[in-house]
Chains A and B, each alone.
Chain A
Amino acid sequence: MSSPHASPRTGALSVRRLLSPGLLFALPFLTLFAVFMLWPLGQGLWMSLTDTSLSAHEPSFIGLDNFTEAFGDAEMWRALGHTVWFTVLSTVPLVAVALAMALLVHTGLPGQWVWRLAFFAPYLLPVGVVSLLWIWLYQPDLGLYNHLLDVLGLEQVGWLSDESVAMWAIVLTTLWWTVGFNFLLYLAALQSIPDHLYEAAAIDGAGAWRRLWSITLPQLSRITVVITVLQILASLKVFDQVYLLTKGGPNNSTRPVIEYVYDVGFTGYRLGYASAISYIFFALVILASAAQYAALRRREK
């Protein structure tokens, strides 16, 4: 089973011989990468400069018209605003609650597997199941939450039908569904803090709170930055659960920018315009990443 590219015994010849096999190994990935990522990226950029449509007519080049239209499109700005608002609302609890869960579980109290299962299991549910479940939980009259409010003597809430509440309801669902992943990241980080730090502190008489503040939290600061960065980038891409819970409503009050792209492209048939909005969204993602990178670098110094 010796391959035709068997490497030489001496180092001198190796560079020439290694030249092609390396590329051959990378080739399957590079092919997929070129065909399904680089080419579509270019194609999307080209489409954003045309009036490509799902209906039959031949697309023609229209320059920056799509972008000019998008910048004057109040609905696009509104959708972008929802995306940013969702990111702000969801990132804070998704980091803080995950941290609280991990700290509590890491104490080693009995019932480890129950806690882990309870917090991580929802992350394993497909979004279709999550939305089916939460639409049912949020039902105006039959739903569990309104029923509990009833029992407590509080007023019912139009979870998904009230414009001022719907976004919060989506954030709540998202928190329940995805916090388990951040929880696991925190748990792994906690397990890598060396015990001797705590032992030394205990010998010096530092209490439990003191050890939390002076050892645990500082030791977690790196992973907290990583989790926050990952979370912001993930939240900016929100679409699935919003689309399934509210279809962007009520009154488009929760529609994120990805859904606007979907609506414009696949319901409104305007693929060219949808591409232009995709690229404006991409600019936002790049901007967020650059800001985080800059903040990180300043931190490191």
Chain B
Amino acid sequence: MTSTDLPVRPAPAPQVKAPIREMTVRHRTHLSLGEGRTSRLLALAALTVMALVWLLPMAWALLTAFKTEQDASDPVHWFWPQNGLTFDGFSTVWQRGDLPLWMLNSFLISAAVTVITVLVSAMAGYAFSRTLFTGRRWLFALTVAAVLVPPQLLIVPWFQQMLSLHLLDTYAAVILPQTVAPVMVFILKKHFDSLPHELEEAARIDGAGHWRIFWSVLLPLSRPMLAAVSIFVFIGAWNNFLWPFVSTSDPALMTLPVGITSVKDAYGIQYAQSMASAVLAALPLVVVFLFFQRHIVKSVATTGLGGQ
């Protein structure tokens, strides 16, 4: 496999004028699979099989959630339940009340973590990118080095810290340690580096201070980046397990990932119910994804993780 004998030619001038989107997609299929029908069919078959394998667990859980308990534990009729489908699992789980509570907790905690993390990291990113102060380079180097510290390393000292501050089993204990995100500072600093200085200088001539420049000039310019970063912080906080698990024991404060695992232990083997609670628990983020699908895919590229 030598790649050197492929002569590199200048790009042909783009001649596409009519419906660009459709053209490029079809064009891409053509470019990556060639003319042949067979290769197209093979690729489609491979995709279908993979997608089915990936969707099967979720489809099965969904189906089970709508079964009666009796059918749920009957492997022979797993596809076509004998007693029909029912909402009983959902209503039982929902009425028990803890699931909505855990969702609310998860939402409040993730939202708080996201707001604090993004604001604080953006401010620090601005400081490291656009201002001068003593120790700036040194502090930034320390922040970048801290990217290597796995949060799992810190659970024991965090626990000790919260214990001595009498904060265990409070929202603050769950939220605060999660707001330290050196990676986000790094990403946002790089992002501010890439913004043009002209607007800022114009604002400065008009007498705007740092806060004004940060809040009214740079942040509005950074909306796509802020959205991307927020999505990742939110998903991360929503799915975080270990620290919320260690720092809360009061069921009223549990987040969804922690609470839902206690269902299994507390209520024994009720498959339809436990799948119903899994489905309900999964719903919010899946809905969010359906709405923001394009945006999430794009955000992977803009955060600098993807591309190149």
Contact = CB atoms under 8 A, between A and B. Distances in A.
Interface of A: 1-7, 9, 14-15, 18-26, 28-30, 32-33, 36-41, 43-44, 47, 52, 100-101, 103-109, 111, 113-122, 124-129, 131-137, 141-144, 146-147, 150, 176, 184-185, 187-189, 191-192, 194-204, 206-208, 211-216, 218, 222-223, 226, 230, 233, 236-237, 239-240, 244, 258, 261-262, 265-266, 271, 274-275, 278-279, 281-282, 285-286, 289
B148 interface: yes
Contact of A134 (B57, B130, B133, B263): B57
Which has the most chain B C-beta neighbours within 10 Å: A132, A206, A240, A271? A132
Interface string B271-302: 10011011001100110111001001110110
A128 B158 contact: no
A25 B126 contact: yes
Contacts of A105: 47
A75 to B, nearest CB: 17
Nearest to B56: A144
A24 B120 CA distance: 11
A22 B131 contact: yes
Nearest to A241: B241
B260 A196 contact: no
Contacts, number: 364
B42 to A, nearest CB: 10
B179 interface: yes
A285 B156 CA distance: 17
A191 B149 contact: no
Nearest to A31: B120
A100 B153 CA distance: 34
A73 to B, nearest CB: 17
Contacts of A137: 57, 60
Interface residues of B, number: 123
Contacts of A208: 32-34, 36, 39
Contacts of B242: 239-240, 258, 262
Closest 4 CB pairs of A and B: A3-B209, A22-B131, A188-B306, A196-B11
B139 interface: yes
A52 B154 CA distance: 15
Contacts of A278: 152-153, 156
A79 to B, nearest CB: 13
A291 B263 CA distance: 42
Determine chain B's interface SS by DSSP, over half rule.
helix
A136 B64 contact: yes
Given A108-B25, A122-B58, A136-B274, A265 B47 contact: no
Given A33-B146, A44-B154, A124-B235, A25 B32 contact: no
Given A185-B300, A188-B306, A108 B29 contact: yes
Nearest to A282: B153
13 contacts: A6-B208, A9-B205, A14-B132, A37-B180, A39-B157, A122-B58, A126-B282, A128-B241, A188-B307, A189-B306, A233-B150, A240-B241, A258-B242
B83 interface: no
A95 B69 CA distance: 39
Interface string B14-42: 00000000001111110111101001100
Interface stretch (B1-9, B84-92, B219-227): B1-9
Given A119-B54, A126-B260, A141-B75, 14 more contacts: A21-B210, A25-B214, A29-B121, A104-B50, A118-B55, A126-B241, A127-B241, A133-B58, A136-B64, A188-B301, A200-B7, A208-B34, A244-B241, A262-B155
A85 B6 CA distance: 41
Given A108-B26, A199-B11, A203-B9, A271 B160 contact: yes
B127 interface: yes
B197 interface: no
Given A2-B212, A25-B210, A126-B241, A188 B297 contact: yes
B15 to A, nearest CB: 11
Contact of A211 (B31, B58, B149, B214): B31
A132 B3 contact: no
